Amino acid sequence: MTSVAAMQAEGLEKVYESKGGEPVHAVRGVSLEIQRGEIYAILGPNGAGKTTTISMLTTLLLPTAGRAAIMGYDVVSQAAQVRRHIGVTFQEMVLDEELTGRQALDFHGRLYGMSKAERAERMRDLVELVELTDALDRPIKSYSGGMKRRLELARGLMTSPDILVLDEPTQGLDPQNRVNIWRYIRALRDERGITLLLTTHYMDEAEALADRVGIIDHGQVVAEGRPRDLIAAMGADVVELTGSGELAKLAEILRDVAYVSNVESLPGEGESETGRLQIGVDHGDEHLAGLVQIISESDVVIRSLRVAKPSLGDVFMAYTGYQLRDE
């Protein structure tokens, strides 16, 4: 048997028809392929179409056009088989907060026809994984935001899915809790071989976690690849110099330096005689000393100098023309 991809989508589109208002073309032809055991992140700003895309991939929403398959099963004509292979955790909390953690997980297992013994065993394993053993018999309303997220994660895993789909798994969590969730997600892949598809609007999350990232904007994938490849394709590091003196003359000199790819002059902040230069430099760290040497031979007085590595944020900016804010 040939091994099929964990997920495949081709030209997926979604138009929301709304009564009275204009139809919303939320997803405009998304194609992607996710391999088994891969961690794939869909990264994009609010309203980009992330939740809509994964809702179609997980059979919760019918596509307007295009097709998608999960483990080879079509999401429209073979929805029941698809559901057997996936677990989903939602962006909005769907847990009934009056229930205890144990009741919520047990209920979910019953919904999927798991036997009592199976449910108990699975629960033991999962609450240990997400470190909720001690809180299991408390009502969910007494949980912190991080604990609720972890319970959601356990719920998504109750049915032992091959693929876990996480919509904004760390939205609204503090840094400590976010890092913990990242740790569980990695463990799921590394120790259990689960394929993970997650959405996020946090660039650092995509960079830290994903084997591959699909950057989505206005319902379209605008760039896709391994984070480090996308970043490397951005080219040089940027050295930013703030200083006073003959900056234009210095810029001319720098443009002739072999490892300098480009120099941009920017207005300074505050006093008029200060200015800024953005210097594109291959391997900025290595060439910093050389740059300082050249600058000190000019009459420019350095106020500050820093090397900025490109990030997924710069990749996003390059493809969309605007900044994706990490809020």
Ligand X SMILES: Nc1ncnc2c1ncn2[C@@H]1O[C@H](COP(=O)(O)OP(=O)(O)OP(=O)(O)O)[C@@H](O)[C@H]1O
- Positions in the binding site for ligand X (CB under 6 A): 16, 18, 24, 26, 44, 46-52, 91, 201
Indicate the residue among 138 and 218 with the shorter CB distance to Mg ion.
Answer: 218
Q: How far is the CB of 247 from ligand X (least distance, A)?
A: 41
Q: How far is the CB of 227 from ligand X (least distance, A)?
A: 19
Q: How far is the CB of 163 from ligand X (least distance, A)?
A: 19
Indicate the residue among 122 and 148 with the shorter CB distance to ligand X.
Answer: 148
- The order of strands in the sheet holding 65-70 is 24-34, 7-16, 65-70, 73-74
Cβ–Cβ under 8 Å, residues 163 and 197: yes
* Phi–psi pair at 234, nearest 5 degrees: -70, -15
Query: Given the rule CB under 5 A, which residues bind Mg ion?
Result: 50-51, 91
Residue 136 site contact among ligand X, Mg ion, none (CB < 5 to 8 Å, cut-off depends on kind): none
DSSP 25: E
Indicate the residue among 21 and 270 with the shorter CB distance to ligand X.
Answer: 21
Name which of 131, 185, 134, 138 is nearest 163 in CA terms: 185
∠ CA 151-156-162, rounded to 5°: 140
Residue 292 site contact among Mg ion, ligand X, none (CB < 5 to 8 Å, cut-off depends on kind): none
- Non-local (6+) Cβ contacts of 260 within 8 A are 254, 279, 280, 281
Residue 244 site contact among ligand X, Mg ion, none (CB < 5 to 8 Å, cut-off depends on kind): none
Q: How far is the CB of 317 from ligand X (least distance, A)?
A: 18
∠ CA 237-227-212, rounded to 5°: 170
Residue 47 site contact among Mg ion, ligand X, none (CB < 5 to 8 Å, cut-off depends on kind): ligand X
CA distances from 16 to 22, 155, 222, 238 (A): 9, 29, 21, 42
Residue 46 site contact among Mg ion, ligand X, none (CB < 5 to 8 Å, cut-off depends on kind): ligand X
Indicate the residue among 49 and 101 with the shorter CB distance to ligand X.
Answer: 49
Question: Could you give the CA distance from residue 163 to residue 7 in angstroms, rounded to a whole number?
Answer: 9
Residue 119 site contact among ligand X, Mg ion, none (CB < 5 to 8 Å, cut-off depends on kind): none
Indicate the residue among 5 and 15 with the shorter CB distance to ligand X.
Answer: 15
Indicate the residue among 51 and 59 with the shorter CB distance to Mg ion.
Answer: 51
